[in-house]
Amino acid sequence: MKIRLACILSLICCMVLSCNHEDEPESNTSSKEKKTFDVAGVKFNMIFVEGDTFTMGADTAIDRDFWGDEIPVHKVILSDYYIGELEVTQALWKKVLNTIPSDNYKGAGTSDKYPVENVSWNDCQRFIAKLNEMTQKHFAMPTEAQWEFAAKGGKKSQSYKYSGGDAMKVVGWCSDDNKKETTETGKRRPNELGLYDMSGNVREWCVDVYADYDTTLQVDPAGPATALASSERVARGGSFDDPAFYCRNSFRAKSLPTSKLKYVGLRLVMKAEDAY
Ligand SMILES: [Ca+2]
């Protein structure tokens, strides 16, 4: 009886360990669902997001914390795209621009898996331009619609409040953790698409100029066509420095494109047809 009990316990233990392992971000894989890119030795994964029509904005039936700019909800049609499995890391930023801008820099090597932050929207555009020059690819900053659709789990959405769950402490890092700094990317549970830290850790710049929503059906929207130097840009997902309700899938933050903040970084996207 004791032997049988020991076997059952060790089987459960193996299953738990196996599950934990599956939650760790993987590298060195390449398929339609997940493409690995290598920039002079720094590898990162992009996850396929099948396009669809989705409802953008706060689902007020499940989320009573919504703010006025999260409505009116509206239908958006998105084409297929890829989005970063993780926030852009300090290792990748260093490899591309050879600079170390982050406030939470832990030292050479140690900081590699931490998200880059303290980078302005303008800095991020320079980073992407240089990355594209190095790789001969077409990486971009997500549109606000691409970011929100991916955060909500795309076509695999389970209608969670945060990206990947209804409890923030399970899926990401916010001020409730009381850490007062970023955490290595990929340490909490991913969302339905396998994306980590969409909610929390660092807010993520989007390409869009911040503007009110309207009810018009939109196809691959990228925000207002006119952008002034003083136009605030959208940053989504909340951060380690924000309360949990800022980390909801539909919450919208904004900052000037010149703002460098220790809680704002970015994530990459790419059109599906550009991934080959
Ligand atoms: Ca984030």
Distance 212 CA to ligand 1 centre (A): 22
Strands 42-49 vs 81-84: parallel, antiparallel or unpaired = antiparallel
> What pLDDT, on the 0 to 100 scale, is given for residue 17?
39
Domain assignment present for 15: no
Domain assignment present for 108: yes
> What pLDDT, on the 0 to 100 scale, is given for residue 270?
98
Distance 123 CA to ligand 1 centre (A): 18
Distance 102 CA to ligand 1 centre (A): 15
> What pLDDT, on the 0 to 100 scale, is given for residue 29?
66
Distance 203 CA to ligand 1 centre (A): 5
Give residue 10's pLDDT band: very low, low, confident or very high (50, 70, 90).
very low
Q: Closest Cα to residue 115, out of 135, 140, 90?
A: 90
> What is the Rg, in whole angstroms, of the alpha carbon atoms belonging to the chain?
19
The average confidence (pLDDT) of the chain is 91
DSSP for the chain reads -HHHHHHHHHHHHHHHHHHHHHHSPP-S--SSSEEEEEETTEEEEEEEE---EEEES--TTT-TT--GGG-S-EEEE---EEEESSPPBHHHHHHHH-----SS---TTTTTTSBP-S--HHHHHHHHHHHHHHHTS--BPPPHHHHHHHHTTGGG----SBTTBS-HHHH---GGG---S---TT-S---TTS--SSSSSSEEEEEEEP----S--EES--S-S---TT--EEEES--TTS-GGGGSTT-EEEE-TT---TTEE---EEEGGG--
> What pLDDT, on the 0 to 100 scale, is given for residue 144?
98
Give residue 172's pLDDT band: very low, low, confident or very high (50, 70, 90).
very high
Domain assignment present for 220: yes
Q: Closest Cα to residue 267, out of 178, 200, 179, 168?
A: 200
Domain assignment present for 14: no
Provide the residue range defining the domain that includes 265: 30-274
Distance 119 CA to ligand 1 centre (A): 14
> What pLDDT, on the 0 to 100 scale, is given for residue 275?
87
Both tokens of 186, joined, read 């990929």
Domain assignment present for 8: no
Q: Closest Cα to residue 119, out of 238, 256, 265, 234?
A: 265
> What pLDDT, on the 0 to 100 scale, is given for residue 11?
41
Distance 165 CA to ligand 1 centre (A): 14
Domain assignment present for 20: no
What's the whole-number mean pLDDT along residues 107-112? Answer: 94
Distance 257 CA to ligand 1 centre (A): 18
- The CATH number that applies at residue 216 is 3.90.1580.10
Distance 32 CA to ligand 1 centre (A): 24
Taking only the tens place, the pLDDT of each residue in 151-167 is 999 999 999 999 999 99
Domain assignment present for 200: yes
Give residue 23's pLDDT band: very low, low, confident or very high (50, 70, 90).
low
Domain assignment present for 207: yes
> What pLDDT, on the 0 to 100 scale, is given for residue 26?
52
pLDDT at 16 over 70: no
Taking only the tens place, the pLDDT of each residue in 33-88 is 999 999 999 999 999 999 999 999 999 887 888 999 999 999 999 999 999 999 99
Task: Give the total number of structural domains in the chain.
Answer: 1
- Give burial (CB, 10 Å; 0-12/13-18/19+) of 247: buried
- Long-range contacts, stretch 105-114, CB < 8 angstroms, 24+ apart: 113/89, 113/184, 113/185, 113/186, 114/89, 114/90, 114/182, 114/183, 114/184, 114/185
Q: What percent of the chain has pLDDT over 70?
A: 89
**pTM confidence score:** 0.90
What's the whole-number mean pLDDT along residues 19-32? Answer: 59
What's the whole-number mean pLDDT along residues 239-247? Answer: 97
Distance 172 CA to ligand 1 centre (A): 8
